[in-house]
Amino acid sequence: MNSNPVVRSFTIDGIQVSAAEGETILEVARQNDIEIPTLCNLEGISSTGQCRLCMVEVKGTNRLIPSCATVAEEGMEIVTSNERIDKYRRMIVELLFAERNHICAVCVANGHCDLQAMAQKLGVTHIEFDYLHPSFQVDASHPKYEVDHNRCILCGRCVRVCDEIEGAHTRDFRNRGINTLVITDFATPWGESQTCTSCGKCVHVCPTGALAEKGKSVAEMQKRRQFLPYLVMRREGAK
């Protein structure tokens, strides 16, 4: 046991903060009520730096760095928001909208959607990019849940929660680049999956209406994530 843990002091937006060894910039920001927008990150599951919304500026380097995947270091001077960062964040959200078919007005998660909330918060009023209008089937083969890839932003939360918390690893990504798709088992219909435990964790961590409970109508799909901190605590206590 290290009785004298190393503490790293640095500043976020000019505020003096300190981090324990190994803590990421995002974690420290959250402890200090400094908000950094994220879509793929969720407390309790691992960080993959997929959505790129948590990019921050660090004094001394011109590159933006993902705060969810960067361990805080002594003396860092971090800026979480300025004109340049906000521009890129809006661009990322616009690209997410352009990539699939996000039609809020008919979505089960309307009003409870992280992507929608993020767009509102960042002030995205229109999409500068051409919509790709891809064509995806809705998989409603599961008795309790359904997946609509038109609303998926490929954040990977469902993949990670299924692997790390439930331990089933029913979901994963297929292909790569623009052809990436979240699949169950061997791209088999969800309802025929041999590994799925029907626990529904993926549905509730999903930031959008891509994963939803069956029988929910427009704007009725509220996500419940209270289980996550509890399960993480139990898991870590058991170690």
Partner 1 sequence: MALNQKRIAPPSDDRRWKLVDATMRRYGYSSQAVIETLHTIQEVFGNISAESLAYVSGSLNVPPSKVYGVATFYNHFNMAPLGEHVLSVCTGTACYVKGSGQVVDWIKEEYGLEPGQTTPDNKLSFMVARCVGACGLAPVIMLDGEVVGRLSVDEMKKRIKEWISYDK
The neighbouring-strand residues paired with 71 are 24
Nearer to partner 1, 171 or 201 (CB): 171
Give, for 182, the enclosing helix (H) or strand (E).
strand 181-184
- Nearest alpha-carbon partner for 17 in 28, 6, 27, 26: 28
For residue 173, the minimal CB distance to partner 1 (Å) is 5
Nearer to partner 1, 47 or 184 (CB): 184
- Nearest alpha-carbon partner for 141 in 72, 185, 192: 192
Q: Which of 84, 144, 174, 224 binds partner 1 (CB under 8 A)?
A: 174
For residue 34, the minimal CB distance to partner 1 (Å) is 35
Work out the angle at residue 174's Cα, subtended by the Cα atoms of residues 65 and 66, and round it to the nearest 5 degrees: 5
Q: Site map for partner 1, 133-172, x if CB under 8 A?
A: ------------------------------x----xxxxx
The stretch near partner 1 (CB under 8 A) out of 51-59, 88-96, 181-189, 204-212 is 181-189
Amino acid identity, position 77: E
Measured distance CA(89)–CA(155) in Å, rounded:
15
> Could you tell me how far CA 57 lies from the centroid of its own chain?
20
Contacts with partner 1 by CB under 8 A: the residue count is 18
Identify the three-state secondary structure at position 8. strand
Q: Site residues for partner 1, window 42-101 (CB under 8 A)?
A: none
For residue 171, the minimal CB distance to partner 1 (Å) is 6
Nearer to partner 1, 11 or 195 (CB): 195
Query: Does residue 205 touch partner 1 according to CB under 8 A?
Result: no
State the DSSP string of 65-119.
EEGGG-B--TT-EEE---HHHHHHHHHHHHHHHHHTT--GGG-TTTTS-HHHHHH
Q: Which of 15, 103, 187, 233 binds partner 1 (CB under 8 A)?
A: 187
Q: Which of 46, 194, 197, 222 binds partner 1 (CB under 8 A)?
A: 194
For residue 166, the minimal CB distance to partner 1 (Å) is 11
Residues in the site for partner 1, rule: CB under 8 A? 163, 168-176, 183-188, 194-195
